[in-house]
Amino acid sequence: MKVKWCDRGVCFPKGFISAGVCCGIKEEEHDLGIILSEKPCNVAGVFTTNRVKAAPVLVSMEKLERFSTFRAIVVNSGNANCCTGRKGINDAKEMCKVTATALGLDESEVLVCSTGVIGEFLPMENVRRGIEEAAKSLEGEDEAFSKAIMTTDSIPKRIAVEMEKDGFLFRIGGCAKGAGMIYPNMATMLAFITTDVEIPSDVLKAFLKDAVDASFNRISVDGDQSTNDTVLMLSQRRKRLPEELYQDFSGALTRLCESLALMIVRDGEGATKVVKVEVVNAESREDAERAARRVANSLLFKTAVFGEDPNWGRIMGAIGASKADFNPEAVDIYFDDVKLVSCGMGLGREAEEKAKEVMKKESFKITIDLKAGSECYHVWCCDLSYDYIRINAEYRS
């Protein structure tokens, strides 16, 4: 198997074009984008589990239940179109209709996403104009689209892969946005993935669910869950993926989603560090997950990471509050390969000084050994800095 990764996005697979424009939802920034496939696509989607769901989430979920193939996605940033009542639903549907008309498609072939401020109506005159402009600006590059979906992101997030085995070549491309309100399931994020091979809808759904569970559902910036989270994957009906390549494809898709997820964590609002929190030797996978998530979402832990303070007591307190079943007097904690806690007790100043050196790095791992079984789970998170407060205090200013 030949594998090549590159800094491209949703237009890297053959047959996809996109556009991103500035239509005035945000001031002087790209804020509306379109992805278009030249052929019908099977589509799989994963959406927020928040009980409060934005209008475009509800509209796209309904469409995925009713229709089998799609060709386009329209996305806006700067306005979430959430908590906007019947008007919000109608506006999301109108975005699909205007996009379909501009592209010569049926309205049923268009999905819609939004991200941004909650509780405000979309400026539909601007949106209509933006859709028409984007439809005329479609190209084989995806940088403008990647910028159009950003809110508090500091950089576009995209990655693509090309794979070839026994003469059969296929590509997968993806882009994402997200920097704050990040917590599963999934995060305050949008992600779009394309591939130029046909995968049956049921298989595509299973592949995407597994990939999301291993990536976007394992990240945390601030513990807040969004109302607009969406991951959509388009599988073009171009050439059928041989079943003997299913495992290779699924593995590549998972790696692609993990890469995008880590880009989101690295770009967390005000973040200076990325930490992998891994719980090992738990009695059950559920216990491992509970403990890992409790640590990754602990504000006390995250601020200690920002201050480069190996305050292991905050980790012990978090796992103790997680409802995981373990013996506190058996726990070991490592910062990378530095053992800081043994059998529930700290190893002293020398170990803490070594752990401080680990925490100076931009990325490191914390391993929590519960010694209660054989199950494990990990979560990626970032620190919580002064800038996180500044960014969110000024978000609507």
Q: Tell me the pLDDT tens digit for each residue of 50-82.
A: 889 999 999 999 999 999 999 999 999 999 999
Lowest mean pLDDT among 77-86, 102-111, 218-227, 297-306: 218-227
Residue 383 and residue 349 share a domain: yes
| pLDDT for position 28 | 83
Report the distance separating Cα 69 and Cα 63, nearest Å: 10
Residue 281 and residue 245 share a domain: no
Say yes or no to pLDDT of 245 above 50.
yes
Residue 348 exposed, middle or buried by CB count within 10 Å (0-12, 13-18, 19+): exposed
Active site residues: 188
Q: What's the average model confidence in pLDDT over 158-175?
A: 96
Average per-residue pLDDT in the chain?
A: 93
Residue 335 and residue 244 share a domain: no
| pLDDT for position 338 | 98
Q: What's the average model confidence in pLDDT over 161-176?
A: 96
Has this prediction a pTM greater than 0.75? yes
Where among 219, 249, 266 does a domain terminate? 266
Question: Residue 155: which CATH number?
Answer: 3.60.70.12
Lowest mean pLDDT among 105-114, 213-222, 301-310, 367-376: 213-222
Residue 221 and residue 291 share a domain: no
Residue 281 and residue 255 share a domain: no
Say yes or no to pLDDT of 169 above 80.
yes
- Which residue type sits at 98? V
| pLDDT for position 386 | 80
Residue 300 and residue 199 share a domain: no
Q: Which residues pair with 163 in a beta bridge?
A: 3, 170
User: Looking at the chain, how many residues does it have?
Assistant: 397
| H-helix segments, 74-199 | 85-103, 124-136, 143-148
Residue 257 and residue 164 share a domain: yes
Backbone dihedral angles phi then psi of residue 364, each to the nearest 5 degrees: -155, 170
Q: Which of 98-107, 224-233, 387-396 has the highest mean pLDDT?
A: 98-107
Residue 118 and residue 215 share a domain: yes
Residue 103 and residue 202 share a domain: yes
Say yes or no to pLDDT of 375 above 80.
yes
Q: How many domains in the chain?
A: 2
Report the distance separating Cα 379 and Cα 366, nearest Å: 10
Lowest mean pLDDT among 105-109, 141-145, 214-218: 214-218
Long-range contacts (CB closer than 8 Å, 24 or more residues apart) made by 46-51: 46/186, 46/208, 46/209, 46/212, 46/216, 46/230, 46/231, 47/229, 47/230, 47/231, 48/185, 48/186, 48/225, 48/226, 48/227, 48/228, 48/229, 48/230, 49/185, 49/225, 50/225, 50/226, 50/227, 50/229
Say yes or no to pLDDT of 102 above 50.
yes
Dihedral, 275, 281, 286, 292 alpha carbons, nearest 10 = -20
Q: At what angle do helices 55-66 and 85-103 cross, to 10 degrees?
A: 60
Where among 266, 295, 325 does a domain terminate? 266
pLDDT in tens, 279-297: 999 999 999 999 999 999 9
Say yes or no to pLDDT of 393 above 60.
yes
| pLDDT for position 394 | 65
- Strands of 332-335's sheet, edge to edge? 219-220, 375-382, 274-282, 363-369, 332-335, 338-342, 345-346
Domain of residue 186 covers 2-266
| pLDDT for position 179 | 63
> By the 8 A CB rule, do 176 and 157 touch?
yes
Percent with pLDDT over 90 in the chain:
82
- Within 8 A by CB and 6+ apart from 3, the residues are 161, 162, 163, 252
Q: What's the average model confidence in pLDDT over 205-230?
A: 84
Residue 292 and residue 162 share a domain: no
Residue 283: CB atoms within 10 A of its CB come to 16
Where among 266, 287, 312 does a domain terminate? 266
Question: Residue 282: which CATH number?
Answer: 3.10.20.340
Say yes or no to pLDDT of 132 above 90.
yes
| pLDDT for position 188 | 59
Percent with pLDDT over 70 in the chain:
94
What pLDDT band is residue 241 in, cutting at 50, 70 and 90? very high
Residue 262 and residue 225 share a domain: yes
Residue 223 and residue 322 share a domain: no
Say yes or no to pLDDT of 389 above 80.
no
**For strand 190-195 and strand 230-236, is the pairing parallel, antiparallel, or unpaired?**
parallel
